Structures are given as structure tokens and as C-alpha cells.
Structure 1
Amino acid sequence: MSTETTTLVSLTEAMKRVGHKLQALEAQFRELDITKDNLTQKFKNHSKTLASQAQQDELWMAVLALKFTSMELNILYSYVIEVLTCLHTRVLEKLPDLVRGLPTFTSVLRRKAKNQRIRVAWESVLEESGLQEGDIAALSVFFIVHSSSAEHYAATARRMYVRDATFLITSMVKHCALREGLLRAVQVIDKGKAARTPEAGPSSLKELLPSVRNEPV
């Protein structure tokens, strides 16, 4: 074999080795890209979780920091509890065959994530009432914090003590989501955006959030 032929063979083998190394590097880069994408997605999800937790913490702090008198607190609590009871009642009206399986307001919230019929009924009731999920979160936190001490006032008593609940809320509640939730609760009850205010909802106030003690309406 001539020197020229030997050199050509050696060059060919060297090129093959370089090609194999390039293929290996390309595979490693693809794996790195996949790893980078996975880490980026995990970081985004973690950031969303932290942001959501921060919003929840801010909402709880806002509810705990409210400076209402006992009478004012009772009036707002009454609107909140009537809205939650109304929503529960209206979901059951749309799902009469599931009444036994949805004995409480929280049972609706808990099961709607996994049951499409419940979720569709829930979303329909919210839309008809002019409410959003953020409103429900704010009202639920308000209920949990104040249910052990607040009392329910009927509509006649509310009008006797406070002529304009909207002004009370806008002047005293600084947290945006909490303020909007309370304002919408007043609108649903006072302005009839919900189909009707239940006379006696299927869930007692004690059952709306089972882990919280409450006074009967």
C-alpha cells in the first residue's frame, strides 16, 4: 500500500471518528436542551405556586386586618353566608340526582375538580350570579375567619343598621379581591342577580365549611 493510500485511509478513519464524536455531542446537546426545558417549566410552575401562595397569604392577612365594628361585621357576614348558601342551593337545583352526594357547600368545591357535571353546573351558577372564582375564594376566607363569632342579620335588620353596605365596603376594605368579592355578594343579594335567595338552603351554616364552627341562621 502506497504512502498516499495509507494517508487517505487514515484521514477517512479520522473523519469517521470526528463524525461519531459530533453525533455524540449532538445527542448530548439534545439531552441538555430537554433538561433545560424541563427545568424551565418546573421553575415556571414553582413561580406560579409561590405567586398563588403569596396571594392567598395576602388575602388572609387582609381579612384578619379588617376594622369593622361588631354590627358592621355581622352585616357583611350575613351577605357572605347568604351568597354561599344561595350558590349551593342553585347547584343542587341543576343536579337534583346528586343532592345526597353534595350535602355542603364545600362538597361542591371539593368535587367539582373531578366531576364534569358538577363543574359545569358550578360554572353556570357563577355566571348567572355574576360571580367569579376569585370572589368565592375571598368570601370563603371571610367566612372561615369570622364564622365563629359573627351573627346572621336578616335583610330588614341590615337595612335598619346600615343604609349602604356598598359604601361601607368601599371605604373600609383596601384589598382589591376582598373588596370586589364583598361588593358582588351585596349585589347578588340586594339587586337580585341570583335567581332567588334561598329561604332555607339544604345545607346548614355549620355544614358550609365543616371544619369551622358557626352559629345557626
Structure 2
Amino acid sequence: MSLINFIAKNRYGKWGIITYAEVIFDIAVSVPIALSLFNPVTRNPSNYSTIFDIVIFTDVLIVLILTLRNSIFGLGQDIADLTIISLFQMGSRRRVFFEEFLVDILFPAVLFLASLYFVLYLSGFSLSFQIAPYIGLYLFLSTASFFFTITLKKPLRSLGVFLLFAFSFFVLLNHFNALFVEISFLQISEILLFSSLFLLFISYLVFTRVLSL
């Protein structure tokens, strides 16, 4: 069994990945359903941006919660129980790190995006919306949870610190809302993406060179 298959089976079980995909697809379906409640106003792309922002923000947070289950209570528990040693025996730390990140963080995001575009296309809604900031938000917070999981090595401790971090982030985001209004969505996405890459790099260094079991 390959390393990535082992990680996926450990996270989702034999049939768990199918159930996981169904849950994310259901979350994506909620977007056109919510937009349809305001039909026909929302058929005009210029009118449904606010509604879309609210719905997609909520859905991204739900997907993020599913991701926390993977990173904090998946990888975190493996580190706490030392079962991650079995993964190190199957591949290098660098390989384990990137495949953990792929399964825990990227897979849910790609699955959600694919499902979202698919259901919106079938529903006849315009796909010309700004989703990049929300993807940036997801990557930033999910990578932060990945970082805390690796550095703190205890699931509940990592969850507590992450919740405090996320709360502080949203408070600051709201406090400087006037500043962010003057910045384009693309610039916000770039800031969040750069921050995500920085956290990912620090996590990589800790996981491959500092992490002691």
C-alpha cells in the first residue's frame, strides 16, 4: 500500500472518503439552493454578490471544520500516539509532510471547488464571482491549524490555540475592515496566500528538522 493511500485510509476509512465527498458535495449544493431563494433577483450577477458572499463564507467555514478534523484530530493524534513513526518507516519526513498536507488540506478544498463549480453550472448561475479571497481564507486558516498541530503535538491543545488564533484573526479583520475595503479582492487573496505559504514553510521546517517524538 502506498503512503498516500495509507494516510487516506487512516483518515477516512475504507468507505469514509465516499461519505466525505458526499458531505462536501452537499455543502456545495447549498450555494445554488440559497441563491434560488432570491430568484429571479439573483439571476443577475450584479445583484447576488452579497448573498453569495454570505453563503460561500459560511460554506468555507464548514469545510474548514472538516479540515480541522483531519489535521488536528488526525495528524495531531498520530503525533501524540507516536503512530506517525509507522509513516516515517514508509517514506521520508518530507514525503510524509507533503502527502499529509495533500490529504488533510488540499483534497477537501479541490473537492469543494469542483463540486461548487459543477452545481452552479448545472443551476444556470453565473460563475463570474470572486471566490479567490475565500480560498485564500481557507488555505490560511487550515495551514495555521496544520502549523499548530505540528508544533504543539497535542490535539486538544492545538485546537484551543487555533480557536484563539482564528478568533483574534477575525477580530482584527473586522477592526481593520475600513482598510480592507480599499484593497481589492485580488490583493487580499495575495496577502492570505503569501501568509499561507509562509506558515507552510515554517511547518515544513518544524516537521522535517525539529519535530521530536
Higher helix share: 2
**Structure (1 or 2) with the larger CA radius of gyration:** 1
- Asked if these proteins are the same fold (TM beyond 0.5), I'd say no
Return the TM-score normalized by structure 2.
0.27
